[in-house]
Amino acid sequence: MVPDHIAAGGTPMPLPKSLVEGYRRFLRDRHAPDRGRYRQLAELGQAPSAMVIACCDARVDVSAIFDAEAGELFVLRNVANLVPPYEPEGMYHGTSAAIEFAVLALKVPHIIVLGHSHCGGVAAYREKIRDKVPAQGFIARWLTLLDDLKVVESETFTHGDEVAFELAAIRSSLGQLRSFPFVRKREEAGLLSLHGLHFDLGSGALIGLEEPTGSFTALSEA
């Protein structure tokens, strides 16, 4: 059976027409009117106001959620917006490398962990689906970061079991961020603030973690 992305005869399929047309609209409607800003970004480099650690779910459009312009956000995306612990043993750590660059090179003043509703990664862990994939699989290994997840019981009543796990995953990632010495140092110096947010796909509601109380409240009320 020939894979969907390979045409008959083994020739790769062309880039989807919708993406090509989208690129043309981008050039016409966004890049051309704001060409000066893009040139400035190219020549002077980036100075984002925040790093966002988000899920790679296609339904979560980070820039759209915050109505952010080009260069405003340094976005890292992975399965379930997870942060691994600080492990400087020299292996391949894409997430950790991005955090290091954002904090030490870009010196971002904010890091946002952005979770979302109907997260497939968190659901896979919650429903133990990870046990059905090979033990050495990348996803199975990655989701072990959620082991010992601490779910707030009251949130299961307020938001439901699914969202309660997603909120717990956000808290876990914030805790892991603080295992990085350079993150902790800048936070203690008042140079960096960490934030936990959860986006509801259906309603568009955004709730944020209030550190003093440990509870999530609507962003408009925070």
pTM of the model: 0.90
Which of 30, 59, 131, 161 is catalytic? The answer is: 59
Res 91: pLDDT = 82
Q: Are residues 92 and 103 in the same domain?
A: yes
Q: For residue 2, is it within any domain?
A: no
Local confidence band at 119 (pLDDT 50, 70, 90 cut-offs): very high
Percent of the chain exceeding pLDDT 70 equals 91
The candidate with the shortest Cα–Cα distance to 209, out of 173, 161, 156, is 173
Q: Which of 30, 45, 60 is at the close of a domain? A: 45
Active site residue 171: no
Q: Are residues 192 and 103 in the same domain?
A: yes
User: Residue 216: which region, alpha, beta or left (left: phi > 0; alpha: psi -120 to 50)?
Assistant: beta
Residue 7 has pLDDT above 80, yes or no: no
Q: Are residues 34 and 73 in the same domain?
A: no
Q: For residue 29, is it within any domain?
A: yes
**CATH classification at residue 167:** 3.40.1050.10
Q: For residue 4, is it within any domain?
A: no
The candidate with the shortest Cα–Cα distance to 81, out of 102, 108, 110, 51, is 51
Q: For residue 187, is it within any domain?
A: yes
Q: For residue 8, is it within any domain?
A: no
Which of 55, 126, 130, 198 is catalytic? The answer is: 55
Res 211: pLDDT = 84
Q: For residue 3, is it within any domain?
A: no
Strand segments (E) across the chain: 50-55, 73-78, 110-116, 193-199, 206-210, 215-218
Which of 28, 31, 119, 147 is catalytic? The answer is: 119
Q: How many domains does the chain have?
A: 2
The candidate with the shortest Cα–Cα distance to 76, out of 46, 104, 45, 97, is 97
Res 84: pLDDT = 96
Res 106: pLDDT = 98
Q: Are residues 37 and 94 in the same domain?
A: no
Q: Are residues 102 and 131 in the same domain?
A: yes
Active site residue 119: yes
Boundaries of domain holding 75: 47-218
Active site residue 116: yes
Q: What is the pLDDT of residues 194-213, one digit of tens each?
A: 999 999 999 999 999 998 88
Residue 183 has pLDDT above 90, yes or no: yes
| CA gap 120, 202 in Å, rounded | 15
Residue 3 has pLDDT above 80, yes or no: no
Local confidence band at 214 (pLDDT 50, 70, 90 cut-offs): confident
Q: Are residues 110 and 189 in the same domain?
A: yes
Mean pLDDT of the 3-17 span: 74
**Average pLDDT value for the chain:** 91
Q: What is the pLDDT of residues 121-173, one digit of tens each?
A: 999 998 775 566 565 688 888 999 999 899 888 888 888 889 999 999 999 99
Q: Are residues 85 and 29 in the same domain?
A: no
Q: Are residues 41 and 23 in the same domain?
A: yes
Q: Are residues 41 and 51 in the same domain?
A: no
| CB contact set of 115 (below 8 Å; sequence gap of 6+) | 55, 80, 81, 122, 166, 167, 169, 170, 196, 197, 198, 199
Which of 24, 116, 118, 161 is catalytic? The answer is: 116
List C-alpha distances in Å: 49 to 105, 107, 139, 197: 13, 9, 31, 16
Q: Are residues 18 and 99 in the same domain?
A: no
Q: Which of 23-32, 43-52, 152-161, 184-193 has the lowest mean pLDDT?
A: 152-161
Q: For residue 156, is it within any domain?
A: yes
Q: Are residues 148 and 58 in the same domain?
A: yes
Neighbours of 209 (CB within 10 A): 21
The candidate with the shortest Cα–Cα distance to 128, out of 113, 149, 114, is 149
Tokens of residue 127, six digits: 């429903």
Most confident of 10-19, 174-183, 210-219: 174-183
Active site residue 56: no
Residue 113 contacts residue 196 (beta carbons within 8 Å): yes
Q: Are residues 23 and 55 in the same domain?
A: no
Res 104: pLDDT = 98
